[in-house]
Every structure is written in C-alpha cells, then in structure tokens.
Structure 1
Amino acid sequence: MRHSTAPGARRLLARWRSAASTGMGVALIAGVLLCLLASPGIAQPAGASAAPRTLLVAAYPAIDEVIKEALPEWQRRHPDVAVKVVSRQFADHHTAMTTALSTGSHLPEVMALEVGYVGRFAMGGGLEDLRQPPFNIERVRDRFVPYAYQQALGRAGRVVAVPADIGPGSLLYRADILAKAGLTEADLTGSWDSYVAAGVQLKARTRAYLVSHARDIKDVLIRSGLKPGEGLYFDQDSNVLVNSPRFVRAFELARTVRQNKLDAKVTTWSNDWSEGFRRGTLATQLSGAWLAGHLNHWLAPQTAGKWRAAQLPENTFVAYGGTFFAIAKASPAPNKALAWELIELLTLSRERQLAAFKAHDAFPALLDAHTDPFFEQPIAFLGQQPARLVWRDATRRISAAAVHKQDAFAEEVINTELDKVLDQNKPITQALADAQRLLAQRARR
C-alpha cells in the first residue's frame, strides 16, 4: 500500500535529512521524527487505525520454531504487521495462559495449547467460538483429521481451537532386543495378553524391561472402547465412569506387569527414562509417533536403526498429545482477524504443515498434507521402515474422547489409586470404588 506525503511533511523530511548529514544531535532528530509521525499531512493506509502493528503469539518449544519458520511468508503478506513470539517452557507457558485467561490481562493475540489444556479451557468461556465470524471454521472442518477437530469442541458445540499437529499412538520397540529374545512383532501386537507374555520372555532372555512404568498400560486401555458421548472419566451428563470393566481391565493388566517385574518403575521424561533408552534396558514404549523423532534427535540417537514402529496391541487406536491454536475472547477485537489469518497460515497451508512435519516431526492435522510422498519415505532411525504410513493409518481410526472440566483431577485420583494397587496391594475393586466415590463428589462442581 502506497503512502502519500503532503508538502508540510516533505519539509520535515528535508530537515531530518539535513540534520542527519550535518551530525545534528540525536534528540533533535528524534523530535523531528515525532513531529513527522504526528503530521496530519501524512495520509495513513486505509484501516490502519484498526490494525495492530504487532501480533503477540505465545508458544512453547518446538512450536515456537514452527511459528518462526512461517514468518517470512507472513511478512510477504503483511509487511506492516510484525509477529512477536513469546516462548516459555511447556508447564510455564500453560500456567501463564491459565492466568491470562482468568484475569483478562497480558493476553496474546494467538496462543498455542496442548490438547489436554484445550479440553480444560473449552469448558470455560475464555476462548473465542471459532464457528462465528470472522473465523467461520465450520467451512474448513472437513480438511482436518476428524478426531483432532472433535478434540477442540466445547460446550454447546463451540469450537475453541484449531488443530495444528497430532500424536497418533504407536508401539515403538527395539527390533534387536526382540530378535535376541526369539520374538516377533506379532508377539507384541496380537493382544494385550500376548504383549505382557512377550514381556515375560523378554525379561527372562535379555533382562530388558517391557515398559518404563505399569501406568503406561493403564493410560492406553482406559482410552480404548469408548462409546459415543463418553469421556475418559465422565459421560456427557457428568456421571462417573471409572468403576467399569474398562478400568478394571486396565488396572488388572498394569498389576500383572508389576507382579512380573516387567516395568522399570521410571516415569516419562525422567533421567532414568531416557537413560533406559540409551542403555537398551527398555524394549518397548507406548507413545505418540512424535517419540521416534525425540529418540532420534536427542534421547537416544546412538540407537539408530534398532527401533521399529507398529500399531498398539490389539488394534488399539488412541491419541497422544497434539497442538492447537486459540484466540482469547478478551484480546483486542481489531487484532482478531489478523490473528485468525496467522492461524490459517499455520494450520491450513499444506506447505507449512509439511515443513513442520519434516523439520520438527509435527504430524499434520491437515488431511491435505497426508497425500504427500514424504509419508512413503523410509525412516533411517527406524531401520528404513516407512513408519509414517503406520501412523497415518492410525489417525483414521482414532476417536476423540469427550472432555470434562474435572478430567485433570480425575487423572490424579486414578493414578493415586493405581499406585496403591501396585505398591500396597490394594484390591482393584476397592481402589476403583474409592475413586468413583471421590469423583462423584467433584463431578458437578
């Protein structure tokens, strides 16, 4: 957009050039510039008073890098609108966003959110309903992986965020350790019982643990077999679901793993967890597809070629994490159209989605990207296996669980009761009954 310059403004510009060429003091030059900027003779672009000069985007690693890599394209579209990315560590970022939404202050124009926090925020009223103008997200709904879109649904069908990347669940396993134990992939994936039985053989013949923690088994099984309208812990009417066959089986299998000493009793992201990968004492890991990239780049790069990917046992399809972008209701109204345009660039551009996948293992939520030949390419870290096809297949079979405002509390309760089962031999029926009673008290708060 072209700017016009009135005669008065041209005289001020001449004075500035003269001052600069003769070494005039900085203060005087600054004063001249202020006068120039305030001059009514300088025409502003149409609509400039309503458009911000900077969009603030809050994110966490490595989403901050994904955003920054999209900025050259943004600047070509909007050379007059800068984007400032504020990055905090994962937990600090979400704490800051929780505070900002509750107080209505220090809100960014765009906030990145991990899927677990999308569920929590969706139950409140702090995020824009993206079905409404100027967003109108329903028109592009079919372009996203269905379960990812469903994860952003709030009360009364509100859509509070846009999916950017997803985490299809996968069984990652050490092919060399499996071969040493005389096992095959089918021994791991046939059923959950065969998975545990294979773990017994693994431990006896290689001394490697089947999983890092028995809780990993529980986390998958409580997410399988959900009925429409059900969440993990509550149904759509806030009825508690934990005293059910789904949880009984999850607790029983986790207890069997612990009783057979098949778990290393280490928690995810701990030093002992990463050390187990490096030393080859962890034979399998139930996780999102993104873990293969983490293993390759920083957790255990020296194990390249030894890992393989498969579907989770018993054809179980669940999601592990995912990134979304949201807009706060309380952010300045003139900024929201630009914020939405930036989100569209990050989520609806096939090129940007593929770039994030290739550089950061951010599995695309955009279906348009899933037809790219990149999915068929072998992955060296996984022994030249074209594992992205395995993960793509999983995305088509995952169902989203309904969210509830007490999900985070329920997870703490269930983990506490499972620990009592594993470490104190508490009967499973009693553990789940106690959890049911406690959650029923909190369900409708």
Structure 2
Amino acid sequence: MKTHVKAGVAALSLVAASAFAADIRFDLYPDYDTQINAIKDGLPQHNITVLKNNHGDHHNKLKTNLATGAGAGDVVLIDVGFVGSFINSGGFVDLTDRYKDIAGNYAHYAVEAGKGSDGKQYAIPVDLGPGVMYYRRDYMEDMGFDINEVMTDWDTYLAYGAKLKEKDILLIGNAKAVANAYYRFNTNAGEGLYFDANGKSLVTSERFVKAFEIAKAIRDGGMDGNISEWTEDWYASFRDGKFATQMSGAWLLGHLKNWIAPDTAGKWGVSNLPAGIYGTWGGSYLAIPKQSKNPDAAWDLISYMVSKDIQLAGFKNIAAFPAHTGTYDDPSFSESIDFLRGQKARLMFAEIARNITPVTPMKGDLIAEDLIEKALDDVLNDGADIQKTLKGVEQQLKRRVR
C-alpha cells in the first residue's frame, strides 16, 4: 500500500525475547509500522526491530543496500512499483520452497509479480491495490448522472467530463492518472508493462498511444486541474470538491476517511474503471535479503504477516487490502461503509482482485517508468507530439536497458 508522509526514521523494539529468540530487523515505510505495532504480540519468539523511512527514502536505501550487499534488514517491505526491478537485480533469498504450499491462497496475479525472470519466488504479496474509480456522488447521481453509464467506456467518461466543465467542475485532478490507468490496466497475458516476454519495448504500442491521447483530450478540454498528486493542493481539492473523480487503488479509501478529507463522508462512491478494465494500483511485498543473518526467523515473520487472521487485521488497522483471497468471505467484506454512503465496496474490491491479469515484472521497469512519466509531461504540458515522443522513449530504452 503506497503512502506518502514526511521523511523520518524510527527504530523501536517491539517483541519481547524468548529463550530461543532471534534478533531480526524489519525495514518498512508507513503505515506498516502501525500494523506491526498492532500485531506485535502474536510472534513472541523473536525480537523484532522496526526501521522506518518514508516511501521514497526507504526504496532508495534498499536499492543501495542490495547493490552493496550490506545494510538491509532481515525482512524488507517493497512497493509493487519497485519489486520487478529489485528482484531481477538479485539480492533476495529464493522463497519458492517455503511458499509453494500456501501460494494458492493468494491472488494469482500478485504471486506471479513476485517471481523473477527465472520463475522462482523472491517476494511475497502482503497487500493489494485493486484499481477503482472514486467519484463524488454530489456530482454524479445527485446531479442526475448514472455512474454505470458514465463508466461504460472512455468516450462516455470524457463526455461526462465535458458536461461537468460546463458547470465549472473538473473531471479529475490530473489527466496523468487517466493515462496511467489505461496503459497499466490493458496489458496482455505474459507481457510486462513496458516490455514483452522477450524484453522488447512496448512503449510505442497502441496501448501507450491511446493512453496519451485520452489524457491529452482531458487536458486540452480543460477537464483537469494539472494538480500534482500527494501535494497539499491535491488534498485541499478533495476537501473542497474541486474535481469529481479520482482513479486509484482501493486503499485510497483509508486516506480519504482518516486524514485527507474526513469531513466529506457520504459524498463519495466507488466504481469499476471505464470499460470494466481490471488492474492493480499499488500493493506491497515482503522479501528476505541474502545478507540476512536470520533468514529462518525472517520467514517466521513473513508467514505470520501473510496469514489469514493477520491479513484481516491489516485490512482493519491500516486499510491494507488483503492478498490472501481466503479473507474475502469474511463478514466484514459485506459491511456497509458509511464514508461511501453505505456502499458495500469491499465486495467490488475482492471481485477486481480475483480477475486481474498478471503482469510480468522486468528489470528495466523503473527506467521505463521514469521515461514514460517525463514523456507524458512533455505531451500534456508542452504540446509534444505523442508518436514522436514515444519513439524517443523507445530509443532511450534501447540504449539504457540491456
């Protein structure tokens, strides 16, 4: 679950030692320190120390630790956006034999994304980010629109945005989110986001061209505010009702409810994305660096955190959507959510999680992501030609990714 907080490092001893306890360190980013603190008494045989950094600093540190072979914790938390690059760079313990007997209990696509190019399991999914559309009900049904009709396809979504524009309401905070959803959620089986199974670039494919075209139509039509996500301006826009929709992972519900816009309770709903596409928007993994001195104890912690009861606890404690599909029959999934005007949204989240197509992680993903993000800025902000810009990205990938 991706979170954005101010930088800071904290270390605290969480679990009392037993006579045969091992000392293990868990390197993580918020809000998993909250989760660990809540579940700490369930694994009394080990001494667990938490090392917390903000999301960006945590991954930068881990990248350095893996490159140098020193400094990483015994267990590390990894955002899905980094997992492919980190795994295929080496440095993690092969967990295939430990995990194989329980892997069937977890969302298939997430399990696959934790494998290396050699087919072995190096990272274990601990939470998911089913991709959804949060929308303002006061700008939808309260104004006479039908969410199912609006989300029929991308054309109907854009038509809704055009009608909102007439009322001085923005469709979305930033058109880049729409492009991200389209190219991330329309992959073919066996493909990565940016490369095919043979490592050939896909960034000039119709998937990326269409994603850029939709985003450009939104920007050119004045339907977004060019508001950078995870900024104070973005948070204020949620509170003030500046825009009508936001594409994100299911986990955004926890942020909206708990700290971004708690006073907007009852004004929100959530739906599938346009054209009924399924995809993942965020998610987290657990892995054991080869440099760990206590890999067996590290596995004890991982297996505990991905157990059914603890997965449900994470869902309740920090809104981390469970990777364990056996949790989806829990009565809590059928509960109405007051913040969403009584909608039973968790059932939708579970249905999406069961139907996501696996995306193969590739070593060059982080490089490609940076280049695509810059290219999208060039198209939306500077009017760059889409086809020419994507060809430029492909040329750079050929030079930088072997």
TM-score range, shorter chain: over 0.9
Q: CA deviation at 1:187?
A: 3.2
Structure exhibiting the larger radius of gyration computed from Cα positions? 1
Amino acid of the residue matched to residue 196 of structure 1? L
Q: Does 1:95 align with 2:60?
A: yes
Number of the residue aligned with 1:190: 152
**Structure 1 residues 341 and 53 mapped into 2: Cα distance closer, same or farther (>3 Å)?**
closer
Q: Does 1:320 align with 2:285?
A: no
Number of the residue aligned with 1:212: 173
Distance 1:278 1:284 in 2: 13
Task: Please say if residues 113 and 358 of structure 2, whose CA atoms lie closer than 8 Å, have aligned partners that are also in contact.
Answer: yes
Distance 2:309 2:73 in 1: 25
Partner of residue 338 from structure 1, selected from 293, 297, 315: 297
Partner of residue 48 from structure 2, selected from 51, 59, 83: 83
Task: Please say if residues 141 and 147 of structure 2, whose CA atoms lie closer than 8 Å, have aligned partners that are also in contact.
Answer: no
Query: SS where residue 223 of structure 1 aligns?
Result: helix
Number of the residue aligned with 1:144: 106
Amino acid of the residue matched to residue 228 of structure 1? A
Number of the residue aligned with 2:25: 56
Structural RMSD (CA): 1.5
Q: Does 1:355 align with 2:324?
A: no
1:57-136 equivalent positions in 2, closer than 5 A: 57-75=26-44, 78=45, 81-132=46-97, 136=98
**Higher relative contact order, chain-length normalized (CA < 8 Å, sep 6+):** 2
**Structure 1 residues 70 and 204 mapped into 2: Cα distance closer, same or farther (>3 Å)?**
same
Amino acid of the residue matched to residue 90 of structure 2? G
Number of the residue aligned with 1:436: 394
Distance 1:125 1:222 in 2: 27
Amino acid of the residue matched to residue 377 of structure 2? D
Structure number with the higher helix fraction is 1
Q: CA deviation at 1:181?
A: 4.1
Amino acid of the residue matched to residue 126 of structure 1? G
**181-190 or 118-127: which moved more?**
181-190
TM-score (ref. length: structure 2)? 0.93
Distance 2:90 2:154 in 1: 40
Query: SS where residue 96 of structure 2 aligns?
Result: coil
Residue by residue over 1:215-269, the C-alpha shift from the partner in whole angstroms, topping out at 9 and shown as x without a partner, is 1111011123322221111112111111111111111111100111111101110
Task: Please say if residues 334 and 347 of structure 2, whose CA atoms lie closer than 8 Å, have aligned partners that are also in contact.
Answer: yes
Partner of residue 230 from structure 1, selected from 164, 187, 191: 191
Task: Please say if residues 181 and 201 of structure 1, whose CA atoms lie closer than 8 Å, have aligned partners that are also in contact.
Answer: no
1:389-428 equivalent positions in 2, closer than 5 A: 389-428=347-386
Distance 1:167 1:284 in 2: 17
Task: Please say if residues 68 and 85 of structure 1, whose CA atoms lie closer than 8 Å, have aligned partners that are also in contact.
Answer: no
Q: CA deviation at 1:426?
A: 2.0
Distance 2:149 2:380 in 1: 25
- Identical aligned pairs, as a percentage? 36
Question: How many residues get paired?
Answer: 385
Partner of residue 164 from structure 1, selected from 120, 123, 126: 126
Query: SS where residue 196 of structure 1 aligns?
Result: helix
Number of the residue aligned with 2:5: none
1:36-55 equivalent positions in 2, closer than 5 A: 53-55=22-24
Distance 1:60 1:418 in 2: 28
Q: Does 1:275 align with 2:236?
A: yes
Distance 1:324 1:428 in 2: 34
Query: SS where residue 283 of structure 1 aligns?
Result: strand
Task: Please say if residues 123 and 286 of structure 2, whose CA atoms lie closer than 8 Å, have aligned partners that are also in contact.
Answer: yes
